[in-house]
Structure 1
């Protein structure tokens, strides 16, 4: 974490943006590394999503809780869009060790840009993306749930005509037309108190 990067993050926070941790490869299975990364970003970092959507169910939730995150947004599929937990609302994951809920909120991931076109996944064309996602958004709307969309920064390059800014804007336009509220993870967590 260079001083220049720290300044950039501080500027983003000062503008009202939320800065979360994108846990590096291996942190979902290494509590010490996760705690170290959390410590580096400590100032006001409340949210987490693990790289490659990694999650080890026997240990990862306890480590998220121990590291002090308010919410996690990892639980989704890389292979397809939808409901990994069969549920469109954020929830407090069950702690099998204590028989109670964990102290952090899980905000399920419904759609990831790489899922839509990557050669290992769905390989949808640009014109197929919105029609494929429309039933998902209708289901979320039906139950008053949360639509969580992950769009990687490199896909905002206008040269990307398949999962680029145009497709992102089409998705956001549809969500807006459906009356969606656009919230940060922290704002969502305030609507689902423990």
Structure 2
């Protein structure tokens, strides 16, 4: 249903896949698991994909390159995008690690506790390394809305979440910005605590279609 929704809405999502080791903060399947590998290959055929680096890769840089190679092997293509686990960013170390590993586009910058414009801008921008006083090749793509922000951090119902998101959608539209949202697979399961959020996502997709936006992952 998700791929069909994106097709009907004219949206082009990016799927970020984890390929790191299982651990306390990393509960993903092994990259070698047949069903996981099949899912990655299937989605990568017609969609943009990126790496979801493990929690430990933030402080153990060697894992970033290992995980990137694993995803490249699965997809058969070079991987140049990432989104950090738990939005874990260390400045400037994280961005420098990404550059060293060949990542050129990162989608981590945003608030965990509240929707909004953490970068004060609704468009991608090049990362400027203040310590080295230079513009780098890394493009930062800030997001404005995350699923767990709405339901877990703020404890909103879907109706309340919609009222929280509408001003951000309107602000992005007024400045011809990019409305970027971040969603986890379990939040679209329509089960348990996430019951009803699949419909919320579908409504958001249709709203963006009406606004003629095609950049909401």
Pick from 49, 64, 71 the counterpart of residue 34 of structure 1. 64
Quick one: distance in 2 between partners of 1:84 and 1:129?
18
| Superposed CA offset, 1:108-146 (max 9, x none) | 01111000010xx11111111111111111111111111
Normalising to structure 1: TM-score of the pair?
0.85
Residue number in structure 2 paired with 1:144: 176
8 A contact 2:144–2:180 mirrored in 1: yes
C-alpha RMSD of the superposition: 1.7
| Superposed CA offset, 1:92-123 (max 9, x none) | 111123211121211101111000010xx111
Residue number in structure 2 paired with 1:191: none
Residue number in structure 2 paired with 1:112: 146
Unaligned runs of 5+ in 2: 1-30
Q: How does 1:40-119 map to 2 (within 5 A)?
A: 40-42=70-72, 43-118=77-152
Quick one: distance in 1 between partners of 2:127 and 2:144?
17
Q: How does 1:12-23 map to 2 (within 5 A)?
A: 12-14=43-45, 16-23=46-53
Quick one: distance in 1 between partners of 2:216 and 2:111?
21
Unaligned runs of 5+ in 1: 185-194
Say which SS state the counterpart of residue 167 (structure 1) adopts: helix
Residue number in structure 1 paired with 2:25: none
| Superposed CA offset, 1:129-173 (max 9, x none) | 1111111111111111111111111111223335x2011112112
Quick one: distance in 1 between partners of 2:159 and 2:129?
42
Residues 8/124 of structure 1: CA separation in 2 closer, same or farther (3 Å cut): closer
Say which SS state the counterpart of residue 139 (structure 1) adopts: helix
Tell me how many residue pairs correspond in the alignment: 180
Quick one: distance in 2 between partners of 1:126 and 1:90?
28
Say which SS state the counterpart of residue 109 (structure 2) adopts: coil
| Superposed CA offset, 1:74-106 (max 9, x none) | 001110011111111101111123211121211
8 A contact 1:23–1:49 mirrored in 2: yes
After superposing the two structures, state which structure 1 stretch, 1-10 or 151-160, moved more. 1-10
Residues 157/3 of structure 1: CA separation in 2 closer, same or farther (3 Å cut): closer
Normalising to structure 2: TM-score of the pair?
0.77
Quick one: distance in 1 between partners of 2:148 and 2:130?
32
